[in-house]
Structure formats: structure tokens, C-alpha cells
Amino acid sequence: MTDSSAVIQGLAALLDDGRLKTDADSLAFWGCDRTKMYTPAPLAVVFPKTVEQVQAIVRYANEHRLALVPSGGRTGLSASAVACHGEVVVSFDLMNQILKFDATDRSVVCQAGVVTQQLQQFAEAQGLYYPVDFASAGSSQLGGNISTNAGGIKVIRYGMTRNWVSGLKVVTGAGDLLELNRGLAKNATGYDLRQLFIGGEGTLGFVVEATMQLARTPKNLTVMVLGVPAFAALMEVLGAFQAKMDLTAFEFFSDKAVDLVCAHSNVPRPFATATPYYALLEFEATSAEVGETAMAVFEECVENGWALDGVISQSETQLKNLWRLREDISETISVFTPYKNDISVVVSKVPHFLEDIDRIVSAEYPDFEIVWFGHIGDGNLHLNILKPKELAPSVFFERCKTVNRWVFETVQKYAGSISAEHGVGMTKKPYLEYSRSAQEIAYMKAIKQVFDPNGVMNPGKVFD
């Protein structure tokens, strides 16, 4: 019996029958996320069903110095959930129950494997709303959302996942179970350890349960899509609308993105004439007056040359089709093996920042197609470089990496973030210094040492 087979047998003894997999297909499936830069090569995949089983796995990993990688919906884009060095993947697929709902507190206790859309539908059934939303809501899991502090399309109104987590149960790297904040709205009793695990990418411990807050359901959501002539005009449009009304979303995307989505998904173009960029904005049309205000602001944008054309949703079907122009982009471009950058600055710096980044990209990638989109209302831009069909992925990724330094130097110049909402994982790890000082990184490493003294929790992610 080899050492690895003995370790696997020991792990299997901690779980229900059949809850450990070592076949090649399972290792490949659960050992990766949506990044394509690394080849998954885990030792095994385990499927705990209880908190106690998670604790037992972590304690066993400490005893045998096994590296553990958390696995949720595997929709991440920074390789935080990739196991490529013989790690044990801990899948939360079976810990997928909504455990408790309190109507008075508007709170719901969920296991880590609850799918985002599952929580959204549960909230809807209670006459409430879970507002964190993104294209992968149908497969992403709450544990992963929390561990990467997921954002999405509603941040301008509702904030990040962090804003909706009022309590956590976590299993630390030492195997201890901590219950953090217990759903309290106000709790001034020292350090809020909950916040360390939100965005921690599983490097301190595993989220096993979360108390999530819900909101009231928005009324009569309405979408406008405007054709915009230039990057700078996008911010003028944003400012004009925010001065007069509250928005629930403000997204942008390039005409290249629209071309690809319309060809791939048979979504109708928003209007006949193409424009370089598009702004999609959403608001609650709670009265006729709100609708009139929106049209007046649109006319102001046209008069000032900030918008060239526009359309407003007149039905639920049209609203969904307009949203698909934005939400279908990631799936559509996935066939091109895109190289993605997820960067952000404060909103006031976006125009100059965009100009600088676009200048670098246009000069250095003249032969590559570029797709821009993002949550420009909160300063988050997604830069996607599409791989030419004839170019090998390894060559393509290396060419993209050579320009990363200039892109991230620009991010640093504007005091921005190299990863707005996708996390650091392995893909952004070499560039962490552009957003975090050496002192900050040293403190982060010290915090990890406290929670994960033997370094078993998702090693090699965020920093070495």
C-alpha cells in the first residue's frame, strides 16, 4: 500500500460511503475553475455533508500535512479553486441546504453549497430579494461568493457580497469551528473576524454556513440601453442620471461585445445603428414621474452628444433581452480562451484611467481583438483579450503577461485594484504588490499563520 493510498483510505473513513472520488474524470472536473492556465491534478475529491465532517477533514489534513482546496460552483476566474499540485479538493456540493429563515430579521441561514440562484428564488418566494447577482448565479455557490466577496451587476445600489453577510460559521485551518457575529446588525465587541473570511479565498479556513440578509423586492425594474460615442461619454451619462434618479445598475460594453453576443445568442441588437460603446442602466420605475425623468435625462445626454441613440424596455421580455446583451458576454467569449483582467479605480478616476489602459492595450495588442465590459458605475472594468484561433494558448498567455506589468503599473498609478471582484488566486498573485504594500502583505501572512498554522488551507493562493 502506497502512502497516498493509505491517506485516501483515511480520508474515506471520515465520510459517508461513496463520498470520495479519485477517478480521472472527477479529478479533472472538481479540480479546476473557469481559468484555463493550469492543469488540474488533485489527489482526491471529498464531499462532506456536515460541519463535523469538514472539521474532521481539516484535522486529518493537519495531521498528514495535506493541502486542501475548497470547491464550490467552480465559476471563479483567478484559479483560486484550482488544485494542480496533488491537493485534496473539498467540495461543498452536498452541503446545499437552506436551514432557517426569519421574516422579522429578513435573514436566512444557508450552507456553503447553496447556489446563488437558489437563494434568490427562496427570497422571492418569501416576497423578498437577494440582490447580489451575476451571470454565473445559476451555478456559483455562496461559500465561493463569500470567499471571493463577489460583486456583480447590482453593486452600484446594493454593494458587494460583504454587505449581505451578517454571520458566518467557519472551520479554521486548525480545525476549530468559529461562529462569527451571529447575525447581529450592531456588534461592537472587538475585531470582526467575519470580515477576514469574506474575500479570504479559503486561505484562512472554510465557510460552512452563512447568515445572509435579504432586501425588499424592487418595483417595476426598467432598463435603458444607450449608444455612446466614447469612453469619456459613459461617465457623463452616469453623472447625468445619478444627479436625477437612483440606479440599481449601470453597466457598459463595447460594440465588439454586442456583435459577438448577437451572433452567438440570437439576441436582437438594441437599435439599428452600431455605436462604439453602450451603457445599460436599470432603475425602479415606481411612478410615471420617474419614467419621465429618465426620458428627460436621456434627451439631455443626446443634446450634449453623450448618447447617440437609446431604447427603453417596454415589457419583461424586452428587459431580459436588453440584459442579455451584457450578461451573455462572458459565456459568448469563453470559446475564444480570453485573457481577462478585472481592474478597478474610484469612479471619479475612471475616464482618465480608461484612456490610459486603452492606449496601452491598443498599442501592444494590435493583432488581438479586445472586448470591454464591466460595472463602470462602481469603477470596475473587465478587459478581455481574445485568443486568435491559430495561436497556441501557452504563447497567447505569455504575450498577454508581458503587458500585464504596464497595465498594473497604471492601476497602481491610479491607486486602484488589480482584482475588483474575481479574487487573487494564482493568476493575479504575481501582481499583488501593485495593490497592496509590502507591509500589508506581511500582516496578511501573519494573519494566515494564526488561522492556518500548518499552511493546509488553499496554499499557493493570494500569496506564497
The DSSP secondary structure of 250-276, one letter per residue, reads: EEEEEHHHHHHHHHHH-PPPSSSS--S
Q: Looking at the structure, do residues 102 and 194 belong to the same domain, yes or no?
A: yes
Q: Which three cell numbers stand for residue 292?
A: 419621465
Q: Which residue has the cell 437612483?
A: 246
Residue 2 has a pLDDT of: 47
262 and 353 within one domain: no
pLDDT score, position 404: 87
Domain containing residue 361: CATH number? 3.30.70.2740
DSSP-based three-state secondary structure for 17: coil
What is the SS3 assignment for 245?
Answer: coil
C-alpha triplet 25, 31, 35: angle, nearest 5°:
110
User: Model-level pTM?
Assistant: 0.93
Can you give the pLDDT at residue 266? 84
Same-domain pairing of 166 and 78:
no
Cell of residue 425, nine digits = 488566486
Contacts of 194 (CB under 8 A, 6+ apart): 165, 167, 168, 180, 181
> Which element (helix H / strand E) includes 294?
helix 288-303
Q: In whole angstroms, what is the distance from residue 180 CA to residue 75 CA? A: 26
What mean pLDDT is predicted for residues 165-192? Answer: 97
Separation in Å, CA 208 to CA 96, 97, 110, 177, 257: 10, 11, 9, 9, 37
Do 106 and 210 share a structural domain?
yes
Q: With a cut of 60, say whether residue 1 has pLDDT above it.
A: no
CATH of the domain at 134: 3.30.465.10
Q: What's the number of domains the chain is made of? A: 4
Co-location of 237 and 274 in the same domain:
yes
CA pair distance 82, 78, nearest whole angstrom: 9
What is the Cα–Cα distance from 63 to 203, expressed in whole angstroms? 18
Asked if residue 456 is part of any domain, the answer here is: no
Specify the pLDDT at position 403.
84
In a domain, 131, yes or no: yes
Residue 401 pLDDT greater than 90, yes or no: no
Helices 231-242 and 350-364: crossing angle in degrees, nearest 10, is 160
Which range has the worst mean pLDDT, 115-119, 330-334, 411-415? 330-334
Q: How much is the average pLDDT of 118-145?
A: 96
> Same domain, yes or no, for 135 and 210?
yes
How many beta carbons lie within 10 A of that of residue 200, not counting itself? 26
**Pair (169, 102) in one structural domain:** yes
Amino acid (1-letter code) at residue 39: T
CATH number of the domain that residue 312 is part of? 3.30.70.2190
Average pLDDT over the chain reads 95
Whether residue 123 is found in the same domain as residue 18 = no
Domain span including residue 349: 337-422
How far is residue 73 from each of residues 101, 105, 143, 368, 437, measured CA to CA in Å?
23, 28, 9, 30, 31
Whether 459 is covered by a domain: the verdict is no
108 shares its domain with 205: yes
User: What's the mean pLDDT in 96-112?
Assistant: 98
Q: What is the CATH number of the domain that holds 27?
A: 3.30.43.10
- Is residue 104 located within the same domain as residue 204? yes
Q: Is residue 390 part of a domain?
A: yes
pLDDT tens-place string over residues 37-61? 899 999 999 999 999 999 999 999 9
The pLDDT tens digits for 208-263 are 999 999 999 999 999 999 999 998 899 999 999 999 999 999 999 999 999 999 99
Compute the distance between CA of residue 61 and CA of residue 55 in angstroms, rounded to an integer: 10
Q: Which helix (H) or strand (E) holds 180?
A: strand 177-180
Q: Are residues 137 and 177 in the same domain?
A: yes
Sheet holding 277-284, edge to edge: 309-312, 221-228, 277-284, 249-254, 369-375, 380-386, 339-344
